[in-house]
């Protein structure tokens, strides 16, 4: 069952990728303070994630800040080397933080995982977006169809912030 509004973010060890580099961290350290918008993607450099999902957040990063968001975080079940390369290639560092969940432990702990073994990808995150305030989930948006970025996209999350 997926994490739901009112539930705290579980403490899972991950790699935190920022403009300062890559560091070992707990998800509660990354997501536990302030207002955070976290979106989850199946994989770095994958078609929809790379061409549609991440770019929407990059284009609206200042809008999120103006709406009171302290941090935008992208979580993906890739190793930190791939995540760092993706962040650099998309010029995201400094605007978006990344969680590299190489073994999909955070994805599984939150119930936001998706089995993509049939496509050769193993366990990954599904496509979701959350609003988290001081470590507690307030909103969870989930895409209903693969390859879509509607409910978890930046415009939908900006609208959800207005409802808080």
Active site residues: 49
The residues, ordered by sequence, that sit 6+ positions from 35 with a Cβ below 8 Å of its Cβ are 68, 69, 70, 71, 131, 132, 133
Q: Is 29 helix (H, G, I), strand (E, B) or coil?
A: helix
Q: Is 140 helix (H, G, I), strand (E, B) or coil?
A: strand
Pairwise CA distance, residues 16 & 122, whole Å? 21
């Amino acid at each position: 069952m997926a994490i739901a509004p009112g539930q705290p973010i579980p403490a899972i060890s991950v790699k935190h990728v920022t403009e300062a580099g890559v560091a070992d961290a707990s998800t509660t350290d990354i997501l536990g303070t302030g207002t955070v918008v976290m979106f989850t993607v199946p994989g770095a450099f994958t078609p929809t994630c790379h061409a549609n999902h991440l770019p929407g957040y990059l284009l609206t990063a200042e809008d999120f800040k103006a709406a009171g968001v302290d941090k935008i975080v992208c979580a993906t079940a890739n190793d930190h080397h791939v995540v760092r390369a993706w962040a650099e290639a998309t010029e995201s560092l400094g605007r978006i933080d990344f969680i590299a969940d190489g073994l999909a432990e955070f994805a599984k702990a939150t119930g936001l995982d998706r089995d993509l073994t049939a496509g050769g990808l193993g366990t990954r995150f599904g496509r979701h977006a959350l609003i988290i305030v001081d470590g507690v989930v307030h909103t969870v948006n989930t895409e209903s169809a693969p390859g879509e970025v509607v409910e978890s996209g930046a415009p939908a999350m900006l609208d959800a912030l207005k409802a808080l």
